[in-house]
Amino acid sequence: MTDTTPEIRASVRSDSPYPRRWAALATLCLSLLIVVMANTALIVAAPSMLRDLQLTSTDMQWIIDGYTVPYAALMLLCGVLGDRFGRRRALLAGLAVFAAGAVYGSLADSAIEVIAARIVMGVGAAVIMPATLSLLVAMFPAHERARAIAAWAATSGLAIALGPLLAGWLLESHSWGSTFLINVPIAAAAAIASLALVPASRADHVDRTDWIGGLLSIVTVGGLVYAIIDGFHFGWSPATLAVLATAATAAVAFVAWELRHPHPLLDLARVVDRTVGAACISVLLLFFATFGVIYFVAQQFQFVLGYGPLETGLRLLPLAVAVSAGAAGSARLAPRFGTRATVTAGMAAATVGVLVLTQSHSASGFEIYLVCLLLLGIGIGLSTPPATDLIMAGFPENELGAAGGLNDTAVEFGGSLGIAVLGSVLATTYHREIAGFLSDLPFTNLTGSMAEQAELAIAAAGDSVGGASIVAEELAANPLAASHAEPLREAAGAAFADAIGQASLVGGISLAIGTLLVAAILPSKDRDMLEPAH
C-alpha cells in the first residue's frame, strides 16, 4: 500500500490541523481496543484455561501478570522512542509484536507457553498505547483535543466490557485459545488503516535517547509491579523483598540521573507540577479501583451467581455504556464547571460505586453489581479524559511520547496495584471466612490416596472461589459425596461476599482519600492548568 499521509512535525497548536484526524482517531481507538481487551478477555477465559491446563493459582496469577509487568515497565521508554524514531512506526511495530504474541498464545498447551505469549503481548502493548496517545495529541489542535481524548477514554471503557463479551461469545463454541486469536485480525486491520490514515509523526530536534534513564525506569517500574504482585499474593519472601529493594534503589538513581541529564527521558519538573501530578494521581487511583472491582465482580458472576462466559460479558456491558456516557459528558461539563470540579466529581461517583459493594451479601443478585458498574463507569468517563488532557498539555510537542508513557504507566500501575492489593484483601478474607466450614468436612477419617485427594480438594476450595466451584462440581458428580456439593457452594458464596465487602471498603476508602487529595492539589482555574507547555 502506498503511503499518502503527510508527516506531522509542527506544533500540536498549529493553525492547520491534520485533515483526516477523525478517521485516524478511529484507527488509534481500534489499536487501543485490543490492548485493553487482552487483559479483560482473560477474566472469562480463566475457568476454561484452569481446567484444560490444570493451572495452579500461581500459574493463573502470572498468566495475568505476565502481560502487566512488561506493559507497565516499558511504556515510558517506548513512548520516548516513538518521539525519536516515529510514532506511527512505533504503533505498527507494537501491533506486529502484539499479534505475534497472540498467535503464539492461541497455540500454547502449557502454562509456561501461555505466560511467555502474554509477555510478548505485553511488550507490544507497551509500544502501542503511548503511541496512540501521542499521535492523538499531535493530530488534534488544542480546542478539539478534549473531545478526541474523550473518545479515546471511552474506547478504554468499551474494551473493559467488550473483552469479556467477545471472549464469552467465542467460548460458547471454541476453546480458550480463540480468545487470543481474535486479536490478530483486529491488529491487522489497525495496521492497514494506520498506513492509510495515520500520519507519520515524530518530534523535532530529538536525536538522542537517555538509555540509562530508560533502563532505570524499567527496573523501577517493572521491579515495583512485580514485587507488589508477588508480595501481596504469595507472601513477602526474601527474594521478593530483594526485588522491591532493587526497584527502590533504581528509583532513587533514576531521579538523581534525570535531574542531572541535559536531555532526560522524563522531565521531572513537569511531573511534580501540581496539575500534572494531581492528574496522574487521579488516573492511577481510578484504575486501581476499576481493575480491582472487575477482578472480583467477574468471579462473583461466574463462580457464585453461575453465569456462563457470554452472560458474564453481557453483564459487564453497563460499565462500557456508563464510561461512554461519562466521557461524552466530560467534554461538555469541564468547560462549563471547570476541570477540577469535573475530575473530582467523577472520582466521587466512582468512590460511591465501589463502596456500594460493601453492602453485598450472599443473597445479593445482579442489581447491586449493576449499580456499582454504572457509578464506576460514569466516574471513569467524567474524570479520565480531562485528567489525561492535563497530563498531555503539561508537556511540549517533542515530549508527547514521554507524556503518553507517563499517563499510561499511571493507568497500568494503578490497575496492577488494584488487582494485587484488593485481590490480596479478597483472598485473605475469603480464606479466613471459609476455613471453619472446610475444617468441619467429614473427610478427616479417610486414608491413603482418598485422604490425599480430599486434602487437595480442601486446599483448592480454600484457595479461591473458583477452586471451590470446581470442587463442588466434582463432589456433585460423586454419589458418595454429592450431599456436600451444595453446602460447599453456599459456604464459598457467603465467604466470597464477605471478601468482596472488605476489598471494596479498602478500594473505596483509597479512592475517597485520593478524591480529597486531587481536589486540594488541582488549581481552581482552568487557565492555570492548561497554560501551554514550553
Read off the pLDDT of each residue in 239-266 and give the average, rounded to a whole number.
93
pLDDT tens column, 16-41: 778 889 999 999 999 999 998 887 78
Higher pLDDT, residue 512 or 489: 512
CB 98 within 8 A of CB 125: yes
pLDDT tens column, 518-533: 999 998 776 555 554 4
Read off the pLDDT of each residue in 46-75 and give the average, rounded to a whole number.
81
User: DSSP 3-state assignment of 409?
Assistant: helix
Question: Is the pLDDT reported for residue 15 higher than 60?
Answer: no
* Number of other residues whose CB lies within 10 A of the CB of residue 85: 15
Read off the pLDDT of each residue in 311-316 and give the average, rounded to a whole number.
86
* Residue 346 pLDDT grade (very low, low, confident, very high; cuts 50, 70, 90): very high
* Residue 431 pLDDT grade (very low, low, confident, very high; cuts 50, 70, 90): confident
Q: How many CA atoms lie within 13 A of 92 on its CB side?
A: 16
Q: What is the pLDDT of residue 435?
A: 81
Question: Is the pLDDT reported for residue 157 higher than 50?
Answer: yes
User: DSSP 3-state assignment of 200?
Assistant: strand
How many angstroms from the chain centroid is the CA of residue 277?
A: 20
Full-model pTM: 0.85
Average pLDDT, the chain: 85
Q: What is the pLDDT of residue 316?
A: 87
User: DSSP 3-state assignment of 201?
Assistant: strand
Question: Is the pLDDT reported for residue 196 higher than 90?
Answer: yes
Read off the pLDDT of each residue in 474-499 and give the average, rounded to a whole number.
81
* 505 closest CA partner among 436, 434, 411, 429: 429
CB 496 within 8 A of CB 303: yes
Q: Left, alpha or beta for 532 (phi > 0: left; psi -120 to 50: alpha)?
A: beta
Q: What is the pLDDT of residue 382?
A: 94
Question: Is the pLDDT reported for residue 450 higher than 90?
Answer: no
Q: How far is CA 187 from CA 32, 36, 78, 180, 459, in A?
A: 10, 13, 19, 12, 41
Higher pLDDT, residue 485 or 248: 248
Question: Is the pLDDT reported for residue 337 higher than 70?
Answer: yes
H helix runs in 198-338, sequence order: 211-234, 238-260, 268-271, 274-299, 309-337
Q: What are phi and psi of 200, to 5 degrees?
A: -70, 120
| Full set of structural domains in the chain with CATH | 13-209+265-430+497-529 (1.20.1250.20), 210-264 (no CATH)
Q: Of 158-172, 274-288, 324-338, 491-505, where does mean pLDDT reach its minimum?
A: 158-172
CB 286 within 8 A of CB 383: yes
